[in-house]
Structure 1
Amino acid sequence: MTYFKLLIIVFGSLLMVSCKQEKASEKTEQATSEKPNIIFIMSDDHAYQAISAYDKTLIHTPNIDRIANEGMLFTNATVTNSICAPSRAVILTGKHSHINGKIDNLSEFDTTNVTFPQILQKAGYQTAMFGKLHFGNNPKGFDEFKILPGQGEYYNPKFITQKGDTIIEGYVTDITTDLTLDWMKNRRDPNKPFMLMYLHKAPHRAWLPSEKYYKEYTQKTFPLPETLFDDYKTRGTAAKTAEMGILKHMSLINDNKLTPETVKELGIEQWSQLGESLYGMTVEQRASWDAVYGPINEDFKKRYPTMNDSTLTVWKYQRYLQDYLGTIASVDDNVGRVLDYLDDENLADNTIVIYTSDQGFYLGEHGWFDKRFMYNESFKTPLLIKWPNKIRPGITEDEMVQNLDFAQTFLEVAGVTAPKDMQGESLVPLLTGNKAVWDRDAVYYHYYEYPAEHAVKRHYGIATKDYKIIHFYHDVNEWELYDRKKDPREINNVINDPKYAKVVAEMKQKLQETREKYKDSESLDKKYIDQYNK
């Protein structure tokens, strides 16, 4: 071969490689210029401490953790109102409860509110919702939906659809995922970007795991939280009178899965609601359940005569976590199914995936279950986001963000201008490494549902990275201040500590300014008290 021929071959090869690289670059540019798909995954009452990306003490959640490993984990994500339906209304509208009007689970949702799915739908997104909405049976802005009525059931649940109601046999977490994947495979328009809300009932009370996981998790024992026997000695009336204590208020029947017959035999006074999820089981499902929970009942009968308050609290705590965490194991499995589908269908690179909960939850901290308070375990919420080519994988972010911010984030991701009356801030600067423009130093919280179940008093407050101040009002007038850095478990209320006098004054002033910023006021407090009393 002559030198001239060899030169031609080499030059031709380089030209072919260059053309291939140019085409690959064009393809990448085209992919990144397309509007991204949005998948919003939300569970109900999923405590951040029950996700191993946050804390490996209680459970391993490898699939949810994948979102953090491939994206960003937020350690200071919070809610504006820690109760199910109001939290969801805030997410949909991008407005605080006192503005969108959905202040508690009892009030009606004002359907004249404009939601971000409506805006995305008008902007050309295909939209779908599957799972638990919690309020309203005809959500606006969705091309297709299949939603649970109210709380929904764990076993053989009913779904509301645009074509009528239908009961689907099986376990709700699996079914919700089946419906989601069915839509993605068979009715998603590949020529349109999509916004999908994939919403789990679990791990909402009364925590019925699938057969696979109640067989496994009822054999587990979990470490006790340090504050399980909190005496609230530095707090005021609110913490001491709340009715969400594991010992006194957790039902042996509904929550711990003893039978009414067991409780009656032991002479224990207990409300006896067992829940439609058990009564609605098939014969085969109930037989499998009884084969596991029957021996638990028999074991309790032997233990109970020698139990005191401490040992009964520990027994109830273990039973609670076995079932609660068992439901989360199914959520994690099913999140993995969705993530695998995105990878297998080459959709992952142009899809932003968000995992969160409608609020946090108490897993025995301060002796409690449930939520509602502005204390960390219910105020903070899990938030994990992955967005390939935009978020650098494996990032942890500690900025103060809220569920108030989701609507504006999704609109900016889609290239749509958000309405001026939305009150959140887009998270896109944090997601894309432009943190310098983020200037929020405090977040606002307001809880309204009192007097009501769990008896958590009305309160509002703000939190910064360093401090949290809370004002309980209505039938009390009490203040609490916590040093978040020195007292992360929020044991010591320092509102009356002279060392914090300057901090108290500054935080009260900042609280007033924040209330004005978000257009909240004493007159609105009174309005919603009067509305509730009617």
Structure 2
Amino acid sequence: MWPIKNINTAILTIMLASSSVMLSCKDNSKQEKRPNIVFIMSDDHAYQAISAYDNTLINTPNIDRIAKEGMLFTNASVTNSICAPSRATILTGKHTHMHGKVDNVFPFDTTNVTFPQLLHDAGYQTAMFGKLHFGNNPKGFDEFKILPDQGDYYNPEFITNKGDTTIMGYVTDIITDLTLDWFDNRRDEDKPFMLFYLHKAPHREWLPAPRHYKEFTKKTFPEPATLFDDYKGRGTAAKEAEMNIREHMTVSADNKIYPEIAKELGIEEPSEWGYNVFKSKYGRFTEAQKAEWDAIYGPINEEFKKQYPSMSEEDFMRWKYQRYMQDYLGTIAAVDENVGRLMDYLDENGLSENTIVVYTSDQGFYLGEHGWFDKRFIYDESFKTPLLIKWPEKIEAGSKNNVMVQNLDFAQTFLEAADVKAPADMQGESLMPLLEGQPEKWTREGVYYHYYEYPGFHMVKRHYGIVTEDYKLAHFYYDIDEWELYDRKKDPMEMNNVYDDPAYEKVVKELKEKLKKLRLKYKDSEELDQHFIQKYKDRGIIKSDL
């Protein structure tokens, strides 16, 4: 028989071991329940160019899969419709005046804490591949391979945490190759992961993959009803913006007419920029890539050379619109194919069930509506952004949500999903109640928007506003002082400013009060408006008081 002392010691040892196993199982169980996160974002991808929203222009079956297996948001929007500020808002969960990146030039305040940092500190393995657009050293990532600034469609350079490299091929395919390589070779299966999978496409100047040249350049796309908008019923800002397809889109860089042909035809470009960009992008091609390009775009140039002398202004607008759509949508075809590659990988490797998959864009984009391309305005095509989310453990497949959500909300959503406490200075609201089918817990009635980059590219005036499901109230300021109100239900194309209509007097009063409260809530103010105007003066962008 064992001595009593030895028996007690043995029992204690067994109890401690059992406790350790139980704790270990409990920890592992908790670890397993934390979802993986795949955040997919394209650049300037209009919701009108996703068939889950509207199949008029293109079919995107792979992106649509996210909606079919999850939730489609119809009123998702941004806080500031311009690339780098939008991305900074996503990372920080703060409005642009709070994180400092109010435009593409102002520096990002690197003292901001980003949600990837918090997830990384909480035990997530983190990786980023593709286009970040600001900063060369994203915080909180174990591994990154990102494009410098805008990046290139062909034979792109990448900044990595192990040095810079150039990879031959087409950027959308390459970003996916890098992502799948990480999954196969460096993913830690003992940790949940958070992956940023970020596409350059369909950002300007819209260079499709060779496999899509022939198909898309042969297509004719329906024109939007407002292609020839004359901006009556709107204010000064819409009339003075410089993003009309006929007047401001370059025939060379954007429509792919060789500079020598454009000059031979006497086409007046807005500047030499278009010619220089075309030469730069074409110059990146290998000889084989040039041959593929010339085989398709050469005949387009020759046909244009014949037609242009007899084109009316209206004909030219229609021609430019078709060229725009052919290339823009051609780049999206490659995005959709590659999203399919990633989705298939998740399915085939048993990762789909406990993975949140998000597809979005850094903002909306004009596809000829109001005669425009680009973004920046609070008007819907710019302000609204696609948002599709799947998470089989939480989200009912095929569900749809119409409430007002923003890119401001992503950070807190991911943190709550991962059971990580969000910092008190984040300004969004977690989407978890909506994802879990509890919309009654969602209390937001309207969202806040503020655009700053004026004077600047496309000359869209400074403005801020509030948007609800029913109305949109905006204040354009600095060199003008104009208010605009749109009835989103009765006037979905936003053609008639009803701010001065007596029938909407009560609506204006109520929205102004709500807007005032939102400005206070998000710590925005007239003093901050003047602060950023002064910054433009300090940089020499504004040369006189107006």
Q: TM-score, normalised by structure 2?
A: 0.92
The alignment-based identity, stated in percent, is 70
Give the deviation of 1:235 after TM superposition: 1.1
Give the deviation of 1:263 after TM superposition: 0.7
| Aligned AA (1:387) | W
Deviations 1:334-376 (CA, angstroms, capped at 9, x unpaired): 0000000000000000100000000000000000000000000
Give the deviation of 1:201 after TM superposition: 0.2
CA distance in 2, matches of 1:58, 1:236: 29
Counterpart of 1:40 in 2: which secondary structure? strand
Please point out which of 282, 288, 298 is paired with 1:284.
288
CA distance in 2, matches of 1:325, 1:32: 41
The corresponding residue for 1:461 is 465
Please point out which of 394, 397, 406 is paired with 1:390.
394
Q: Is this contact kept in 2: 1:354–1:386, CA < 8 A?
A: yes
CA distance in 2, matches of 1:72, 1:58: 22
Please point out which of 370, 376, 383 is paired with 2:374.
370
CA distance in 1, matches of 2:494, 2:119: 40
The corresponding residue for 2:118 is 119
CA distance in 2, matches of 1:278, 1:433: 49
1:335 aligns with 2:314: no
Aligned length: 508
CA distance in 1, matches of 2:390, 2:250: 39
The corresponding residue for 1:17 is none
Q: Is this contact kept in 2: 1:31–1:350, CA < 8 A?
A: no
Structure 1 unpaired stretches of 5+: 1-25
Which runs of structure 2 are paired with 1:49-68 in the superposition (5 Å)? Answer: 49-68=48-67
Please point out which of 425, 428, 436 is paired with 1:424.
428
Cα distance change on mapping 1:275 and 1:468 into 2, 3 Å: farther
Counterpart of 1:124 in 2: which secondary structure? coil
| Aligned AA (2:393) | N
Counterpart of 2:449 in 1: which secondary structure? strand
Structure 2 unpaired stretches of 5+: 1-24, 539-546
Deviations 1:67-120 (CA, angstroms, capped at 9, x unpaired): 000000000000000000000000000000010000000011111110000000
The corresponding residue for 2:537 is 533
Q: Is this contact kept in 1: 2:31–2:192, CA < 8 A?
A: no
Give the deviation of 1:123 after TM superposition: 0.2
Counterpart of 1:354 in 2: which secondary structure? strand
Deviations 1:229-269 (CA, angstroms, capped at 9, x unpaired): 11111111100010000010000000000001111111112
CA distance in 1, matches of 2:529, 2:294: 48
CA distance in 2, matches of 1:104, 1:181: 33
CA distance in 2, matches of 1:309, 1:508: 41
Which runs of structure 2 are paired with 1:22-421 in the superposition (5 Å)? Answer: 34-270=33-269, 271=272, 272-273=275-276, 274=278, 276-421=280-425
1:497 aligns with 2:501: yes
Q: Is this contact kept in 2: 1:155–1:278, CA < 8 A?
A: no
CA distance in 1, matches of 2:209, 2:116: 32
Structure 1 residue ranges, 4+ long, deviating more than 4 angstroms after superposition: 29-33
Deviations 1:23-63 (CA, angstroms, capped at 9, x unpaired): xxx9xx95995211000000000000000000010000000
| Aligned AA (1:454) | H
Q: Is this contact kept in 1: 2:40–2:359, CA < 8 A?
A: yes
CA distance in 1, matches of 2:160, 2:280: 21
The corresponding residue for 2:448 is 444
| Aligned AA (1:488) | P
Give the deviation of 1:505 after TM superposition: 1.1
| Aligned AA (2:164) | D
Please point out which of 491, 508, 519 is paired with 2:512.
508
For structure 1, which segment, 296-305 or 262-271, has the greater mean C-alpha deviation from structure 2 after superposition?
A: 262-271
Q: Is this contact kept in 1: 2:81–2:363, CA < 8 A?
A: yes
